[in-house]
Amino acid sequence: MSDKIGISRENESGEILNSASPNVHRYGTPPAEYCLTRPLSSESTSQVAEMSADASNDPFSSFYQEVKAIEKRDSVLTPKQQIDRLNRPGSTYFNLNPYDVLQVDPDTPLADVKKKYRQLSLLVHPDKNQSDSERAQKAFDALAKAHKTLDDPESARKCREVVDEAKARVEQMIIEKRQRARKAGQSTEVEEDDPEKKRHAIYVQTCKLFADLERLRVEEELKQSNERKRKAEEQDEERRRLELEREWKKNYEESRNERVASWRDFKAKKSRSSKGLSGFKPPKTKMEQRPT
């Protein structure tokens, strides 16, 4: 329907380009990424309402409903609300999901991902949110990290694998729910039959998988850090042992001459002492004679 009534787009120079007749209202249904920078004013919305009131059976009435939906969606895309979103409780783990951070679908082309990144980063840039610069910086960093992740082919492939795994787990969960319901004689309808609830289940499972991967990464990093620390301590201990051994050998060699000289002096003294004893002759034993 959007193609029929005309879509207002911006070219690279920022000019508005309409894909349909120039008579179409300039607030044609814009793609999601452009809603950030050109929200509808209340005056424009009122004008649309007046036009739709006179043409309730016209396709324009459907267009008006789209406009209202866009306006409602855009209301949560203010700088403050984006900063709040990227700093919400649990953001440490939520922000591990680059698709959630950039608010893009996993199938979004890279060119559109880049465009969305530029728009969001302009909204939360610390220079434009100086009254909340610390949280703005955190939000800006989260966007930059998510963009870098999806801009790298290898890391983007891994992220896509996470999403595929999340979808597979949700499908398996649905199958198991139906089996349990069938065994219990209950209806096999599940809440995930609703496309929106299924999408939310996939989103939750995706965030959980990203969090699990981060936990495993941190554990592995800690394990490797402890292993490096243990090896470093062993190397330090071995180095100290070798230093002590070298010091002992050095002292032993330096004291060898002293030990040899001391031994020679001892032998010489012992030799002189032996000669002195051999020159002494005790008196001869004289037999005692008794009178008969």
Least confident of 10-14, 39-43, 124-128, 204-208: 10-14
The predicted-structure confidence for 240-283, as pLDDT tens digits, reads as follows 999 998 888 888 777 777 777 777 777 777 666 655 555 556 66
3-state secondary structure at position 46: helix
Among 21, 25, 31, 23, residue whose Cα is nearest residue 49 = 25
Single-letter amino acid code for the residue at 127: D
In sequence order, what are the residues at sequence separation of 6 or more whose Cβ sits closer than 8 angstroms to the Cβ of residue 172? none
Mean pLDDT of the chain: 76
Least confident of 49-53, 210-214, 282-286: 49-53
Does 102 score more than 50 pLDDT? yes
Quick count: other Cβ atoms within 10 Å of Cβ 61?
14
Residues of the chain with pLDDT > 70: what percent? 66
3-state secondary structure at position 10: strand
